[in-house]
Amino acid sequence: MHKAMPTVSLHTLGCKLNFAETSMLGKQFVDRGFSIVDFGQPADVCVINTCSVTERANRECRQMIRRAVRTSANPLIVVTGCYAQLEPEQVAAIKGVDVVLGAREKFEIFDHLGGLEKKLYPHVFVSDIGDVAGFGISYTTGIGDRTRAFLKVQDGCDYQCSFCTIPRARGGSRSQGMDETIAQARRLVDQGFKEITLTGVNVGDYGAKRDGGLLPLLRALLRMEGLERVRISSIEPNLLTDEILELVASEPKACNHFHIPLQSGSDKILHLMRRRYDTRFYRTLVDKIHRKIPGCGIGADLIAGFPGETERLFQDTLSFVEELPVSYLHVFTYSERPDTPAAALPDSVEPKVRFKRNEILRSMGLSKKLAFYGNLVGTTAQVLVEDDVQSGMRYGFTDNYVRVALPADAAGANTMVPVEITAVREGVCRGRIADGREAA
């Protein structure tokens, strides 16, 4: 009689970097004979990779952990990620948690499981973040249905933004060597991935301490046979150099898309945040991108309700962002993070005011996105088609990060097809392929 294959479910909260790392944790389980099942389904082991960017993120982590505990199979619950690193005692105190792993230990998960049986008490393995020097797992593996691979090229951060816990959760900035990174990208392409997204905490800092920076890596990837697109997940304004812009402008494989954190449209607030630029620098950068790369998709992060953000300063942000030619916004409500300088700042903004400002900025972001999409109607773009099928539609992305809907039978997954953008409905571009088939 054959022994049943053990099962694992995995759930990720937070950034693309977390998703990339969860994928590789999944590969470790698959390599040891596990079958991956959907989160919420009965499993022998459940791994939750957490985020701690806001208190709301912490709360969601706790909710997901409790949801995992309630599954009928009574799985071994393993919690890792930023919340586990920063607040291991809080995580361990949640009934049903078996193993808590820090930033260093997450990539040595099988060294700490101690078997698949439930534990009598939580086993906590969390090193001091100052001891985290290794790079860890760094590339996705094709598990699941993604057609775009996420390649982790950098981890940690040396910046000291006043609101941020990432240096305490992930340690100092470090990068994997160029040769290893290129070899891993080659493996991804050999698995069939056509697009690679470079991820990290501070991607623009890649190679700053070795290998000459991000630019040589981009050049090497763009020369790679079989790789059709290279995308940068997010890059700090002060690290998006003229040389990178020139390369993206001149290379068809380089995605015309940048996600550039802004955080505030007020110079006073940017100073309190300890950001490394002001609004003039940011606006000049965005204008330069549009001159060099017409039609480039540009996203921006914003924080609503930072301490000291008066109504007048919030209006400064609104005015600045309204005039800024960006294509979408990611908006976060400010949340006090323990032991950060911002948490001790005076003039805290009332939570209900923070949430209201978040809603206003999100509404502005939606308007900008729809306007950007609307300008594409009548144009033709290359769309990388994904596996995702909903209500008879299959979806994909353009190189400037526009989501496009096609009839489900119009093109196969993981294919690049020219699509005429015909309309914008329900927040998505609708497309027509060469044979005339069109999304409803």
CB 306 within 8 A of CB 266: no
Instruction: Indicate the residue among 255, 279, 312 that finishes a domain.
Output: 255
Within-domain flag for 440: no
Domain that holds residue 405: 380-432
Q: What tens digit of pLDDT does each residue of 397-439 get?
A: 999 999 999 988 888 888 999 999 999 998 999 998 876 666 6
Within-domain flag for 203: yes
Within-domain flag for 438: no
pLDDT for position 46: 95
Whether 236 and 266 map to the same domain: the answer is no
Strands 195-199, 174-175: pairing kind: unpaired
Whether 406 and 311 map to the same domain: the answer is no
Within-domain flag for 123: yes
Indicate the pLDDT class of residue 1, thresholds 50, 70 and 90.
very low
Indicate the pLDDT class of residue 143, thresholds 50, 70 and 90.
very low
Whether 359 and 391 map to the same domain: the answer is no
Whether 248 and 197 map to the same domain: the answer is yes
Give the CATH number for residue 44.
Answer: 3.40.50.12160
CB 50 within 8 A of CB 61: yes
Whether 162 and 150 map to the same domain: the answer is yes
Whether 145 and 80 map to the same domain: the answer is no
Whether 112 and 41 map to the same domain: the answer is yes
pLDDT for position 390: 82
The residues with which 382 forms a beta bridge, in sequence order, are 418
Strands 380-390, 428-432: pairing kind: unpaired
Place of tokens 């040396």: 158
Mean pLDDT for 155-181 is 92
Q: What tens digit of pLDDT does each residue of 36-56 get?
A: 999 989 999 999 999 998 888
Core vs surface per residue 352-378: b (16+ CB within 10 A) or e: eebeebbeebeebbeebbeebbeebee
Within-domain flag for 267: yes
3-state secondary structure of 128: coil
Count how many Cα atoms sit within 13 Å of the Cα of residue 226 in the half-sphere of its side chain.
9
% of the chain exceeding 70 in pLDDT = 95
CB 193 within 8 A of CB 20: no
Instruction: Indicate the residue among 98, 127, 156 that finishes a domain.
Output: 127
Token readout for 158 is: 């040396």
pLDDT for position 387: 81
Count other Cβ atoms within 10 Å, centred on residue 127: 14
Count other Cβ atoms within 10 Å, centred on residue 346: 6
Per-residue DSSP letter, 1 = -
Whether 273 and 338 map to the same domain: the answer is yes
Please return the burial class of 178, using the count of CB atoms within 10 Å of its CB with bins 0-12, 13-18 and 19+. middle
Within-domain flag for 437: no
Count other Cβ atoms within 10 Å, centred on residue 290: 13
Give the CATH number for residue 323.
Answer: 3.30.750.200
Indicate the pLDDT class of residue 101, thresholds 50, 70 and 90.
very high
